[in-house]
């Protein structure tokens, strides 16, 4: 409904408060005018001319109007300041009372009874007075038997006019009062009903939804009374953020409940924007995550889910203590939740003891009964308060907290600065990496319910390994030297279950980073005849890369990994390339397969159009994956040429039709003439492969000329010159081993065009 117009559903509450307040102001203004008219004009100027019946009617209406005008009903009275006696008595009961204090307690209870009777009478009068006022006003306006004013026609006319005005004002005031009462008892109750709370506040059927709606309505009234208007941006989201800014822990829980539920209603962008402007709210949420004990389970789970939504936009350095709180989430399975509430048996025992006390005087007997009643009321209030705070929340257990902790880390590691800070936190890093060395790790991977958690874990490790800092170097050495960790990661690649396939990409990234550590090159596998772990990784990556049945995205990742591994130097005295494990025949075979995959790539081929937005979105996704795959294929081919994995002579005798290859490269070039980093990378690799082809097969120059390759390169350079210049400042991960700084596009195009002349 309202969401389609960009408005929050609970705005109905805001409009209700505006209408309710405006009506109350009208009632107050008319009531003030009626009282002023009755006291100054009638009772002041015509009191001697009024008949006895008229005098008492005026007096009764004035009293009723005074009751209506009294604000204690909605302010002091509703806050309970007129019923403080029980609280004072309960405090006095904690000490040995003197004789005069006992008398004071009895007096307080008597006064409280009087106040109770008066209070209910007051409430009754306030609510039924509009009906009485309207009835009396209509009755007097119809009869108009105001008397003859002692036979003076002038005074009689003035008296009649004054009374007509008075009863007319009273009638209007009574009608608006009825409308005001109707707004409270009809619309107010309707808005706070279960169906309305679910509909207009989107609070679902949660038992605490009513309480949130009631609190929101009350706070909206307070804001309107203070500012004279409800702020345009005031809604449940703003209210939840405001609660989190409070100094009260109970308010923090209510705020977390509201925002956690709103996040589930596809309002994540709006909630995130509101929270990011409130550093205090975020700090309080992080603090809630680190709370311990059974009573704080709901706080922790809700706060963790909210922080998980925010984490992508957070910097750890701005929020001290964040990593310690995340540690507590990952340790949730070890935390004890055995904290207990006070034993009711002990409380009852104290009551029974007091009940057995025999009082020797009437005063003591009254005091004992008062004490028993007071303690019982206090005990019930405490139990009700505990129930209100707890509500019916079903915890999802330690798994939920650990899962959210890993998700928070996954979002935080999108920023390289956060990765560096995390890598320095030894306690947290031990929690992150410990599952990787577990003997049961591969059995966990088989569990579909744990896949998301393992995926977040591998993502965090992968991002930290590709960041800067001493912590990253230390982590790489620890993992690369741990046979169990490497075996588990290799085991993921060898597992073809549906869940494990989602983890293949991250496992590839981690293993590729570890392969550049000297410890990794010394690892072996197999018992009878140990084999080099690096060889196994190379073979596994090559198999995935060339497997057409694999997902395009995974093949692209495997291709990038293979290109980096081909440049890896083995830890031997002669410093040979890892590609030396390939025989000449295997290298030629691999190169031919790479070129064959380039030719069969969908990049550059005409695709059928579709008018459907869904189809366009799917096409964009496929095109992005295809671009990554062609980038990986070109990267492997270029590395094999530049790193002498395959000689120029072998390249010249490659089993590939030159005309088809040149045409395909032209199509790839034309398809990537867009000013984006991904397209720039493809164009650069295409230029490098063109240079390698011409150097190995000079006779292909004519084929490139037939495809107008020089003009195509010039157009690509004109389109991408700006993004090419900007990429100088991006770094592009050149601090990582196996990734060489790429040449700018301009010199590559210039070299290719010179060779084509």
**479 is written with which tokens?**
């993992």
Mean pLDDT across the chain: 78
CB 696 within 8 A of CB 652: yes
Mean pLDDT, residues 282-297: 91
Place of tokens 């991960």: 733
CA angle 146, 152, 156 (to 5 degrees): 30
Q: Mean pLDDT highest for which of 39-43, 157-161, 733-737? A: 157-161
CA angle 578, 584, 585 (to 5 degrees): 120
Nearest-angstrom CA–CA distance, 703 and 487: 48
Domain boundary at 197, 224, 248, which? 197
Res 215 pLDDT > 90: no
Mean pLDDT, residues 512-528: 83
DSSP per residue, 407-464: HHHHHHTTSHHHHHHHHH-HHHHHHHHGGGG-TTHHHHHT-GGGHHHHHHHHHHHHHH
Same domain (yes/no): 357, 491: no
Same domain (yes/no): 117, 56: yes
Please state, as a whole number, how many other Cβ atoms lie within 10 Å of the Cβ of residue 616: 12
Please state, as a whole number, how many other Cβ atoms lie within 10 Å of the Cβ of residue 713: 23
Same domain (yes/no): 246, 169: no
| Position 100 confidence tier, pLDDT thresholds 50, 70, 90 | low
Same domain (yes/no): 574, 435: yes
| Position 359 confidence tier, pLDDT thresholds 50, 70, 90 | very low
CATH number for the domain including 485?
Answer: 1.20.930
Same domain (yes/no): 709, 727: yes
CB 664 within 8 A of CB 599: yes
pLDDT tens readout for residues 563-616:
988 887 654 444 555 656 677 888 889 999 999 999 988 887 644 333 344 334
CB 447 within 8 A of CB 343: no
Q: What pLDDT sits at residue 1?
A: 40
pLDDT tens readout for residues 534-545:
888 999 999 999
User: What distance separates the 2 farthest-apart alpha carbons in the chain?
Assistant: 135
Task: State phi, psi for 525 to the nearest 5 degrees.
Answer: -140, 160
Res 367 pLDDT > 70: no
In a domain, 353, yes or no: yes
CA angle 470, 471, 472 (to 5 degrees): 90
CB 384 within 8 A of CB 391: no
Place of tokens 């007071």: 374
Same domain (yes/no): 137, 254: no
Distance of CA 33 to the CA centre of its chain: 52
Q: Hey, what's the torsion of the CAs at 527, 530, 535, 539, to 10 degrees? A: -30
In a domain, 54, yes or no: yes
3-state secondary structure of 524: strand
**282 is written with which tokens?**
């975020």
Q: What pLDDT sits at residue 383?
A: 52
> In Å, what is the CA distance from 226 to each residue of 24, 244, 421?
15, 21, 45
Res 465 pLDDT > 50: yes
Same domain (yes/no): 428, 395: no
Q: What pLDDT sits at residue 317?
A: 93
Please state, as a whole number, how many other Cβ atoms lie within 10 Å of the Cβ of residue 283: 17
**418 is written with which tokens?**
């956060």
Nearest-angstrom CA–CA distance, 335 and 406: 17
Higher-confidence residue of 604 and 327: namely 327
By C-alpha distance, which of 511, 512, 534, 513 is closest to 522?
Answer: 534
Q: What pLDDT sits at residue 344?
A: 40
Same domain (yes/no): 151, 290: no
pLDDT tens readout for residues 658-696:
899 999 999 999 988 888 888 999 999 999 999 999 998
Q: What pLDDT sits at residue 482?
A: 92
Same domain (yes/no): 430, 402: no
Nearest-angstrom CA–CA distance, 152 and 223: 54
**380 is written with which tokens?**
């019930």
In a domain, 229, yes or no: no
Mean pLDDT, residues 416-422: 94
CB 61 within 8 A of CB 171: no
Q: Is 450 left (phi over 0), alpha (psi -120 to 50) or beta?
A: alpha
Domain range for residue 484? 416-578
pLDDT tens readout for residues 616-651:
444 678 888 899 999 999 999 999 988 888 888 888
Q: What pLDDT sits at residue 448?
A: 74
Higher-confidence residue of 612 and 521: namely 521
Domain boundary at 412, 429, 449, which? 412
| Position 202 confidence tier, pLDDT thresholds 50, 70, 90 | low
In a domain, 263, yes or no: yes
pLDDT tens readout for residues 291-305:
988 888 899 999 999
| H-helix segments, 245-296 | 249-263, 268-276, 279-289
Mean pLDDT, residues 231-238: 84
Q: Worst-scoring range by mean pLDDT, 358-362, 501-505, 546-550, 607-611?
A: 607-611
Q: What pLDDT sits at residue 636?
A: 93
Domain boundary at 197, 224, 257, which? 197
Q: Worst-scoring range by mean pLDDT, 167-171, 262-266, 299-303, 338-342?
A: 338-342
Q: What is the pTM of this model?
A: 0.76
The packing angle between helices 451-465 and 470-480, to 10°, is 120
Same domain (yes/no): 135, 170: yes
Q: What pLDDT sits at residue 326?
A: 94
In a domain, 360, yes or no: yes
> In Å, what is the CA distance from 719 to each residue of 628, 682, 715?
20, 14, 6
Place of tokens 């159009």: 609
Res 350 pLDDT > 50: no
Report DSSP state, residue 184: I
| Position 357 confidence tier, pLDDT thresholds 50, 70, 90 | very low
**10 is written with which tokens?**
């609970």
In a domain, 124, yes or no: yes
| Position 413 confidence tier, pLDDT thresholds 50, 70, 90 | very high
Q: What pLDDT sits at residue 663?
A: 92
Nearest-angstrom CA–CA distance, 726 and 279: 33
In a domain, 614, yes or no: no
Higher-confidence residue of 154 and 7: namely 154
Enumerate residues 6+ apart whose C-beta is below 8 A from 505: 553, 554, 557
Sign of dihedral through CA atoms 732, 736, 739, 743? positive
Please state, as a whole number, how many other Cβ atoms lie within 10 Å of the Cβ of residue 301: 23
Same domain (yes/no): 26, 125: yes
Looking at the chain, the whole-number percentage of residues with pLDDT higher than 70 is 74
By C-alpha distance, which of 419, 441, 437 is closest to 428?
Answer: 419
Report DSSP state, residue 698: G
Q: What pLDDT sits at residue 512?
A: 93
Res 137 pLDDT > 50: yes
In a domain, 716, yes or no: yes
> In Å, what is the CA distance from 194 to each residue of 191, 235, 380?
8, 19, 26
Q: What pLDDT sits at residue 464?
A: 95
Enumerate residues 6+ apart whose C-beta is below 8 A from 299: 252, 253, 256, 288, 291
Q: Is 559 left (phi over 0), alpha (psi -120 to 50) or beta?
A: alpha
Q: What pLDDT sits at residue 241?
A: 93
Mean pLDDT, residues 472-477: 93
Q: What pLDDT sits at residue 674?
A: 87
In the chain, the number of structural domains is 4
Instruction: Using CB atoms within 10 Å of the CB of residue 577, give its burial: 0 to 12 exposed, 13 to 18 middle, 19+ buried.
Output: middle
Q: What pLDDT sits at residue 79?
A: 56
Mean pLDDT, residues 462-485: 92
Distance of CA 270 to the CA centre of its chain: 10
Res 115 pLDDT > 80: no
Report DSSP state, residue 531: E
> In Å, what is the CA distance from 476 to each residue of 360, 453, 522, 558?
82, 21, 14, 20
Q: What pLDDT sits at residue 283?
A: 96
Q: What pLDDT sits at residue 736?
A: 56
**472 is written with which tokens?**
């990253």
Res 345 pLDDT > 80: no
Same domain (yes/no): 81, 119: yes
């Amino acid at each position: 409904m309202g969401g389609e117009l960009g408005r929050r559903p609970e705005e109905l509450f805001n409009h209700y408060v505006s209408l309710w307040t405006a009506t109350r102001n009208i009632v107050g203004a008319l009531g003030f005018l009626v009282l002023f008219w009755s006291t100054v004009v009638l009772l002041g100027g015509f009191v001697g001319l009024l008949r006895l019946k008229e005098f008492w009617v005026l007096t009764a209406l004035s009293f009723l109007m005074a009751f209506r005008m009294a604000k204690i009903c909605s302010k002091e009275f509703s806050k309970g300041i007129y019923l403080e006696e029980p609280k004072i008595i309960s405090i006095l009961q904690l000490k040995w009372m003197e004789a005069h204090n006992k008398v004071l307690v009895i007096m307080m209870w008597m006064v409280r009874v009087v106040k109770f009777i008066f209070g209910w009478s007051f409430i009754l009068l306030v609510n039924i007075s509009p009906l009485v006022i309207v009835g009396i006003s209509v009755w007097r306006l119809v009869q108009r038997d105001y008397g003859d004013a002692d036979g003076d026609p002038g005074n009689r006319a003035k008296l009649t006019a004054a009374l007509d005005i008075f009863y007319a004002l009273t009638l209007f005031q009574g009608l608006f009062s009825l409308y005001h009462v109707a707004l409270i008892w009809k619309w107010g109750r309707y808005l706070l009903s279960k169906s309305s709370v679910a509909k207009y506040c989107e609070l679902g059927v949660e038992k605490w939804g009513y309480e949130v709606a009631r609190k929101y309505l009350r706070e909206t009234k307070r804001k309107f009374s203070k500012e004279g208007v409800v702020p345009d941006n005031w809604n449940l989201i703003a209210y939840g953020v405001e609660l989190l800014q409070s100094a009260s822990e109970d308010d923090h829980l209510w705020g977390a409940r509201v925002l956690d539920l709103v996040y589930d209603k596809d309002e994540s962008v709006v909630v995130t924007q509101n929270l990011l402007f409130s550093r205090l709210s975020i700090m309080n949420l992080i603090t809630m995550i680190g709370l311990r004990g059974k009573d704080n389970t709901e706080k922790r789970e809700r706060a963790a889910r909210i922080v998980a939504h925010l984490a992508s936009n957070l910097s750890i350095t701005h929020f001290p203590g964040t990593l310690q709180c995340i540690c507590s989430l990952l340790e949730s399975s070890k935390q004890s939740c055995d904290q207990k509430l006070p034993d009711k048996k002990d409380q009852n025992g104290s009551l029974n003891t007091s009940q057995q006390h025999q009082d020797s005087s009437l005063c003591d007997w009254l005091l004992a009964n008062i004490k028993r009643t007071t303690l019982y009321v206090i005990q019930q209030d405490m139990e009700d308060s505990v129930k209100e705070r707890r509500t019916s929340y079903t915890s999802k257990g330690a798994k939920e907290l650990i899962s959210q902790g890993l998700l928070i880390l996954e979002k935080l590691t999108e920023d390289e600065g956060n990765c560096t800070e995390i890598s320095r936190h030894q306690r947290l890093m031990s929690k992150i990496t410990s599952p990787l060395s577990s003997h049961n790790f591969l059995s966990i991977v088989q569990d579909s319910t744990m896949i998301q958690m393992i995926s977040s874990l591998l993502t965090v490790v992968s991002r930290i390994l590709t960041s800067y800092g001493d912590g990253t170097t230390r982590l790489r050495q620890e993992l690369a030297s741990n046979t169990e960790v490497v075996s588990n990661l290799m085991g993921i690649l060898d597992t073809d279950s549906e869940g494990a396939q989602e983890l293949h990409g991250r496992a590839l990234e981690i293993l590729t980073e570890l392969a550049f550590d000297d410890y990794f090159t010394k690892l072996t596998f197999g018992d009878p005849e140990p084999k080099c772990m690096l060889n196994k990784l190379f073979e596994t990556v090559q198999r995935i890369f060339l497997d057409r049945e694999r997902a395009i995205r995974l093949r692209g990742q495997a291709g990038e990994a293979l290109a980096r591994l081909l440049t890896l130097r083995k830890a031997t005295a002669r410093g040979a390339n890892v590609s030396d494990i390939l025989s000449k025949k295997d290298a030629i075979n691999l190169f031919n397969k790479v070129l064959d995959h380039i030719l069969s790539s969908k990049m550059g081929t005409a695709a059928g159009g579709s008018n459907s937005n869904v189809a366009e979105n799917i096409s964009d996704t496929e095109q992005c994956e295809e671009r990554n795959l062609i980038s990986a294929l070109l990267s492997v081919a270029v590395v094999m040429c530049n790193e002498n994995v395959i000689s120029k002579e072998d390249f010249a005798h490659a089993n590939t039709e030159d005309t088809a290859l040149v045409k395909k490269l032209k199509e790839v070039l034309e398809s990537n003439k867009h000013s984006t980093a991904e397209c720039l990378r493809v164009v650069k690799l295409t230029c490098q492969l063109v240079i390698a082809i011409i150097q190995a097969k000079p006779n292909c120059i004519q084929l490139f000329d037939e495809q107008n390759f020089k003009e195509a390169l010039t157009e690509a350079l004109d389109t991408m010159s700006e993004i090419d210049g900007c990429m100088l400042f991006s770094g592009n991960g050149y601090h990582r081993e196996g990734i060489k700084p790429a040449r700018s596009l301009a010199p590559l195009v210039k070299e290719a065009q010179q060779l084509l002349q």
